[in-house]
Chains A and B, each alone.
Chain A
């Protein structure tokens, strides 16, 4: 079905299920329980999960398949965002032109930057992309302030022309998809639980599923095979008379367009484009997402993106009061110790937690979270049959990331 083999179809359906039922899955704790702090089922974070999922899926097409480690992908995300906001300012707050423009503009930029950077490989390629991304950041942050609004970020205003829209009105119209406002949604109170269904989330989720599907098709296509060949041995590819450059450039542009789509969706659900999302730490973040989840696997980057965004938004906001409530069941002295130890890992210490997790994953599960899942499932399946190796889903024997 859908041109997928059985295994991929099951994987795709699992992802569809996860995405559709995310409001339930992410809100496992009742509203008034102390654990409600750990609920992630609110629109902003759910949108972030799928948007960064798209970003990471796209990055994985370049990094996971060709092995080219781009350290400047956030630049395309940012460029997509700026293009999107400009479309919303100039044309209409309907998000369709914004998203199309963000993909196209990011594609054009990635074609230019990719053409230059792909003249080198390995660490030099990484440094070149990093340099371009930092240039883009510096331009957006200060030099191009008339276009990008600099530090405060580009946003909609009442004076925007919005030529495709009836003028007037004394408030800025909300971003919508043919009348379906991204910010709107409804809530479903069920017992102690409140589940939030947000239109913006489902719109992004739909596009993520499309992006995920396209990525599966690319992975299984002859084109994907060529990209893997680039990764395994580029010289040998050259000797067989194949020029790897068009393939890598195509992969670079595709992943740049994915990043642009993610950037466009970010402004579709929250119409502001800030320069900070192009900073090199943002580029590093998508590398972490991909490696944490499992580079070169289909679902890995999505899991990695979810994991990092969860830590960033939930753990970073826990404070001493929450910890005290969490450890309430312990005797007083022990509670104090537990709180002071945990405090190092939450709040602004969330990066420490993330760093530790990243280390553990890289050392013990080089294939990322996906490998962890595979090991668990193999543990259960071992009795049934001895040979379960699936070459496609198994992480490649990972070469050096800079290769």
Chain B
């Protein structure tokens, strides 16, 4: 017997061999079919909203709506909210029964986007990598929305953009894993133009003050094109820095410019400040070109209206949804939100609530949390009736406010009625500040995915991650 097999040698070899055998079992590298496949009895959703910064109010309202949506999905809420009214195109009720998603209880994590692309992405990445979220949703600005949408595409999870209005989100920066429920700049222009024409005529000279970033540019472009098409003239476009506290120096030249209409392409606190300045400078009482001077704010929200107070009265703008809508879905949502929190929801809250339900329903219909299955579930459908277009395909549903709604397969933009609103002259409460002037039907805000304002992007293919 040779002494090649020493005791020590055998033990060493055995340990190495054992380790090598164990390796494939301990490195569970690509065992999953897709990113963050939920394996336990819960599924985690990531709610990524601005909790600090300029849009913190919207973020707080979104979080309230998310909590409500999770309660409704898990069946632990005081009522079932829009789960009761949410219907498919054929009028049949959805698969959601208040039993979680695919029988898994819904858990959630929250993060702060700080309305900052880097912070939003960091927060979303930690939700995906640390908490195992299968859906990232929320946000109140287009920059973070575009950034996080691209991240979700790379990581292989679904992204449901929150409040993002710039054309780019479903235009040049669209991604297969991302969906937008909110309306966009183009739709604002298309919905506002006829109302403005009826109210102010087709011979106006407009002056634009535009927030100096992407959303400002696309919205300015959309409104300019829509109003110029009906005969208005654009006198001047001035870019203003974001977060400018005082807009006086921008308002002063307006009256001397020969314009008789001021369009404030501002959002949030900027809009509150610029509108207040404009009113203080007497623009609303002024006369120009023999007409009353008018102010227009393309994108309104109730939170902004509250900030601007008195000054908002009689000013036209567009909005995605308003709690005073009479349909069954809107009322059910307003009721359950109001019962839980004591005041009516904002459009930001409505948007994210709907998206959470839509995601849950898409997963139920797909029978899987696989992002590609979810994308397919949201892309499959006959489209909206009454619109003759080859791109009119995608999932259609009703009962979430705004009437029959399409998630268009071609660019993952949502198509539904757009509201044109006006600051109420005699508000009854601090939440009753906007009155609906017109519900613009979907046909009127329809565009093709290759419309010049949206050109330049490709959806690509959905990415399941693994």
Contact = CB atoms under 8 A, between A and B. Distances in A.
Contacts of B215: 151
Contacts of B458: 157-159, 170
A172 interface: yes
B129 A152 contact: no
Contacts of A170: 458, 460-461
B123 interface: yes
Contact of A313 (B126, B153, B460): B126
Given A151-B214, A183-B154, A276 B121 contact: no
A152 B147 contact: yes
Interface string A168-192: 0011101000000001011111100
Contact of A157 (B118, B213, B457): B457
Given A151-B215, A158-B458, A186 B27 contact: yes
Interface in B79-133: 109-112, 116-119, 121-123, 125-126, 129-130
Contact of B154 (A42, A172, A317): A172
Contacts of B125: 43-44, 270
Contact of A188 (B27, B121, B460): B27
B28 A313 contact: no
Contacts of A142: 212-213, 239, 241
Contacts of A296: none
B460 A158 contact: yes
Contact of B119 (A156, A188, A272, A276): A276
Nearest to B63: A319
A348 B123 CA distance: 13
Contacts of B457: 157-159
B52 interface: yes
A272 B150 contact: yes
A126 interface: no
Contacts of B43: none
Interface string A109-145: 0000000000000000000000000000010011001
B142 interface: yes
Contact of B29 (A159, A187, A277): A187
A183 B146 CA distance: 20
A43 B129 contact: yes
Contacts of A347: 51, 112
Nearest to B460: A171
Contact of A274 (B28, B118, B142): B118
B56 to A, nearest CB: 8
A317 B110 contact: yes
A45 B122 CA distance: 8
B162 to A, nearest CB: 15
Interface in A11-55: 39, 42-45, 48
B168 interface: yes
A45 B143 CA distance: 22
Contacts of B242: 141, 151
Given A43-B129, A141-B213, A186-B27, A317 B123 contact: yes
Contact of A44 (B129, B145, B460): B129
A145 B461 contact: no
A270 B152 CA distance: 11
Nearest to B173: A152
B253 interface: no
Contact of A153 (B117, B122, B172, B463): B117
Nearest to A318: B110
Residue among A153, A187, A188 having the largest count of chain B Cβ atoms under 10 Å = A153
Nearest to B124: A44
Contacts of A343: none
B126 A277 contact: no
B238 interface: no
Contacts of B112: 316-317, 347-348
A196 B155 CA distance: 16
A309 to B, nearest CB: 9
Interface in B39-55: 51-52
B456 interface: yes
Nearest to B217: A145
Nearest to A189: B28
Given A43-B129, A186-B27, A319-B110, A145 B117 contact: no
Contacts of B213: 141-142, 145, 150-151
Interface in B1-46: 26-29
Contact of A152 (B143, B456, B461): B143
Contacts of A43: 125, 129
Contacts of A274: 116-118, 121, 143, 147
A155 interface: yes
Contacts of B295: none
Contacts of A189: 26, 28
A42 B126 contact: yes
B352 interface: no
A190 B112 CA distance: 32
Nearest to B53: A348
B238 to A, nearest CB: 13
Nearest to B25: A189
Interface in A288-312: none
A276 B153 CA distance: 22
Contacts of A158: 457-458, 460
Contact of B130 (A39, A271, A276): A39
Nearest to A44: B125
A159 B456 contact: yes
B122 A171 contact: no
A42 B109 contact: no
Given A158-B460, A347-B51, A348-B52, A272 B147 contact: yes
A40 to B, nearest CB: 9
B213 to A, nearest CB: 4
A319 B168 CA distance: 33
A276 B214 contact: no
Interface in B207-247: 212-215, 217, 239, 241-242
A171 B461 contact: yes
Contacts of B116: 274, 276
B142 A151 contact: yes
Given A172-B154, A272-B117, A317-B109, A152 B168 contact: yes
A189 B29 CA distance: 10
Contacts of A159: 456-458
19 contacts: A43-B125, A43-B129, A141-B213, A150-B213, A151-B143, A151-B215, A151-B242, A152-B142, A152-B145, A155-B150, A157-B457, A159-B457, A170-B460, A185-B29, A186-B28, A188-B26, A188-B28, A277-B118, A317-B123
Given A153-B117, A155-B146, A155-B147, 4 more contacts: A151-B141, A156-B150, A188-B28, A196-B129
Interface of B: 26-29, 51-52, 109-112, 116-119, 121-123, 125-126, 129-130, 141-143, 145-147, 150-151, 153-155, 166, 168, 172-173, 212-215, 217, 239, 241-242, 456-458, 460-461, 463
Among all A-B residue pairs, the 10 with the closest Cβ atoms? A274-B117, A151-B213, A186-B29, A151-B143, A44-B125, A152-B146, A42-B130, A142-B212, A42-B129, A152-B143
